[in-house]
Chain A
Amino acid sequence: MTESTSPGEAEYAAGRLIYKGAEADIVRGQWQGLDAVFKVRKPLSYRLKIMDDAIRRQRTIHEADMIHSAREAGVASPHLFYVDIPAATLVMEYVDGQRVKDIVGSAPRRVVEAIFGEFGRSVAMLHSAGIMHGDLTTANVVKRGGELVFIDFGLSLRTTRLEDHAVDLRLIKETLVGAHSQIAPYALDALLGGYAKGVGPARSRAALKQLQNIERRGRYARVA
């Protein structure tokens, strides 16, 4: 690519770092007068450059594509403003809300169940559209008013394989049990209930069975 600066660079430089993730820095700022976030996949020096450049650029292009596809499937995701491939940067709408991770700890059971029921329905819509999110932790779902907005499609895949969909469910389960152990039992039930409503009972049963198979494949698995 050429050395010319990217259209978003000046705005990005003026922005404020709001989150330093594992994969990317999230910078909040203005883009063409719009309230925006810049998701910048910074080079990771522990990876070989040849491997790192390819992974960052490929994930950037892919994520842009998937964010758009999610909305087509009826699941809220941020609006994209600009995709800067050489800089591995996405410029998108700022989602003004709270991460599910930050609200479920103190919310009453009824609210938690409502959120996870909706969470499950949204995942079902993604899966029915052939989209695996790939990183369904509670940090990647933002509650904005009455809707859940799914962010971070960096590890998503276009797939209808039962296995891949079950891997999605497995990560939610792992996050709930690992990071929200107090609410895990009923949150998971609510999520799977919403999921079953979305994909239908047969597909839901098959996905759960596959989830168990995956867990059995893991080390020292003893599936309840």
Chain B
Amino acid sequence: MERYVLGIESTAHTFSVSVVSSGGKILSNSKSVYKPPEGSGIHPFEASQNHLAAASGVLGDAVRGSGLSLNDISAVAYAMGPGLGPCLRVGAVVARTLASSLGLPLVPVNHAVGHIELGCLLTGARDPVVLLVSGGHTMVIAYSGTRWRVLGESLDLTLGQLLDQFGRHHGLASPCGATIEEAASKSSNYLKLPYTVKGNDVSFSGMLTAAKLLLDGGRPFADVSYSIQETAFAMVTEVTERALAFTGKNEVMIVGGVAANKRLAGMMTDMARRHSATVTFTPLAYSGDCGAQIAWTGWLAHKCGIEVAVDRSDVLQSWRLDRVDIPWRS
């Protein structure tokens, strides 16, 4: 018999609710995305106010959109972390309220694990090396011995932060990835930027400073955008390639908001071909933050008996994915 899980995502700019079935069908995925003013980033409190105002409407849309009623739901999943505290708390309050009033189990989900598991559901990847690239994460991940393990990551900024902070320096509003990609496609003038790979890890802070200086020195936005993309994407492609060679796996999957970038996709495809590995990308509609990642992972956790009592359902702002046991894969 099909069962249904409702999942709530509210780790950063997106408040989203989704209903998925135990068979892996996404019945609804409604969201409200907080947009910061031009030139600035996410203000956690402002974002949480957006989520508070949007919560009831998004929840209603998600339930109606699923064609079910709340009585058909078997469990309520929420993103327990990692993320921005004020934003996480909004999702947690909605989840607790639903779970207590409906008498349903409350399932805590790690947001990053959610990206990966939804990616696997949608792309059919079974045991991939994962590149998780977003505003919150830049990590190379693979499953090994009960957990998703981090094989490489950024030592400072995430790829999303690099792009956003560079974009904001130019006066854009976050997220800036699409605008930078568009600008970069109009240039082929490479300006040298620091290429910083330390072992399996990357560092972007020096590149951000250098890129800002190039802009300040009058270099065209398109040229600097092109150079940032070429350098930063080559770096993450290199560390993903290293993880692929090291683990001997034969699938690569790219998830997270930056997965939408076509140049990154091109580099990863090129790299994977060299290793006769398949490469998959989470579909655009689900590569960014969404309720479906929480609902689907919530179902996987729920069927393994993972739940949390309402009075212990905290949020964990710094919850690394390699601290989460993954019983449904062992």
A interface with B by C-beta (< 8 Å): 20-23, 44-48, 50-51, 55, 134-137, 139, 155, 167-168, 170-171, 174, 177-179, 181-182, 214, 217-222
Question: In the complex the two chains form, is A51's CB within 8 Å of B195's CB?
Answer: yes
Report how far A50 CA is from B189 CA in the complex, Å. Answer: 11
Report how far A214 CA is from B156 CA in the complex, Å. Answer: 9
Q: Mark B238-277, 1 if CB is under 8 A from A, else 0.
A: 1001101111000000000000000000111011001100
Q: Would you give the shortest CB distance from A176 to chain B, in whole angstroms?
A: 11
Question: In the complex the two chains form, is A179's CB within 8 Å of B230's CB?
Answer: no
Q: Would you give the shortest CB distance from B129 to chain A, in whole angstroms?
A: 11
Q: Which residues of A have CB within 8 Å of B231?
A: 51
Given contacts A47-B234, A179-B149, A218-B153, contact A174 B319 (CB under 8 A): no
Residues facing A in B258-312 (CB within 8 A) are 266-268, 270-271, 274-275
Question: In the complex the two chains form, is A219's CB within 8 Å of B153's CB?
Answer: yes
Q: Which residues of A have CB within 8 Å of B270?
A: 45-46
B interface with A by C-beta (< 8 Å): 81-82, 136-139, 142, 144-147, 149-156, 158, 190, 195, 197-201, 230-231, 234, 237-238, 241-242, 244-247, 266-268, 270-271, 274-275, 318-320, 322-323
Chain A, Cβ-Cβ closest to B197:
A155
Question: In the complex the two chains form, is B242's CB within 8 Å of A22's CB?
Answer: yes
Sample (16) of A-B pairs whose CB atoms are under 8 Å apart: A22-B238, A44-B234, A44-B238, A46-B266, A46-B268, A46-B271, A47-B230, A51-B230, A137-B200, A137-B246, A139-B246, A155-B197, A167-B201, A219-B139, A221-B320, A222-B320
Interface centre among A46, A135, A171 (most CB of B within 10 A): A46
Nearest 4 A-B pairs (CB), nearest first?
A: A46-B267, A171-B199, A22-B242, A178-B149
Q: Which residues of B have CB within 8 Å of A47?
A: 230, 234, 237-238, 267
Question: In the complex the two chains form, is B190's CB within 8 Å of A48's CB?
Answer: yes
Chain B, Cβ-Cβ closest to A134:
B199
Total CB contacts across the A-B interface at under 8 A: 110
Question: In the complex the two chains form, is A220's CB within 8 Å of B230's CB?
Answer: no
Q: Which residues of A have CB within 8 Å of B242?
A: 22-23
Question: In the complex the two chains form, is B241's CB within 8 Å of A50's CB?
Answer: no
Question: In the complex the two chains form, is A22's CB within 8 Å of B190's CB?
Answer: no
Given contacts A155-B199, A171-B201, contact A218 B155 (CB under 8 A): yes
Q: Which residues of B have CB within 8 Å of A44?
A: 234, 238, 271, 274
Given contacts A46-B237, A137-B246, contact A219 B266 (CB under 8 A): no
Q: Which residues of B have CB within 8 Å of A51?
A: 190, 195, 230-231, 234
Q: Identify 15 new A-B residue pairs, CB closer than 8 A, beyond the known A134-B198, A221-B318, A222-B323.
A: A20-B274, A20-B275, A22-B244, A44-B274, A46-B266, A47-B230, A47-B237, A51-B190, A168-B199, A179-B246, A214-B155, A219-B320, A222-B318, A222-B319, A222-B320
Question: In the complex the two chains form, is A220's CB within 8 Å of B82's CB?
Answer: yes
Q: Which residues of A have CB within 8 Å of B201?
A: 167, 171, 174
Given contacts A179-B151, A181-B145, contact A219 B158 (CB under 8 A): yes
Main secondary structure of the interface of B (DSSP, over half): mixed
Report how far A220 CA is from B198 CA in the complex, Å. Answer: 19
Report how far A44 CA is from B153 CA in the complex, Å. Answer: 21
Question: In the complex the two chains form, is A55's CB within 8 Å of B318's CB?
Answer: no
Question: In the complex the two chains form, is A178's CB within 8 Å of B150's CB?
Answer: yes
Q: Which residues of B have CB within 8 Å of A45?
A: 270
Q: Would you give the shortest CB distance from B81 to chain A, in whole angstroms?
A: 8
Q: Would you give the shortest CB distance from B140 to chain A, in whole angstroms?
A: 10
Report how far A182 CA is from B144 CA in the complex, Å. Answer: 10
Q: Would you give the shortest CB distance from B210 to chain A, in whole angstroms?
A: 14
Report how far A222 CA is from B246 CA in the complex, Å. Answer: 26
Q: Which residues of B have CB within 8 Å of A222?
A: 318-320, 323
Question: In the complex the two chains form, is B199's CB within 8 Å of A22's CB?
Answer: no
Report how far A181 CA is from B146 CA in the complex, Å. Answer: 9
Q: Which residues of B have CB within 8 Å of A168?
A: 199
Q: Would you give the shortest CB distance from A119 to chain B, in whole angstroms?
A: 15
Question: In the complex the two chains form, is B144's CB within 8 Å of A179's CB?
Answer: yes
Report how far A136 CA is from B153 CA in the complex, Å. Answer: 16
Report how far A176 CA is from B136 CA in the complex, Å. Answer: 25
Q: Which residues of A have CB within 8 Å of B197?
A: 155
Question: In the complex the two chains form, is A220's CB within 8 Å of B319's CB?
Answer: yes
Chain A, Cβ-Cβ closest to B268:
A46
Question: In the complex the two chains form, is B200's CB within 8 Å of A174's CB?
Answer: yes
Report how far A220 CA is from B153 CA in the complex, Å. Answer: 11
Question: In the complex the two chains form, is A135's CB within 8 Å of B199's CB?
Answer: yes
Q: Which residues of A have CB within 8 Å of B322?
A: 177-178
Report how far A177 CA is from B201 CA in the complex, Å. Answer: 15
Q: Which residues of A have CB within 8 Å of B82?
A: 219-220
Report how far A126 CA is from B146 CA in the complex, Å. Answer: 34
Question: In the complex the two chains form, is A178's CB within 8 Å of B151's CB?
Answer: yes
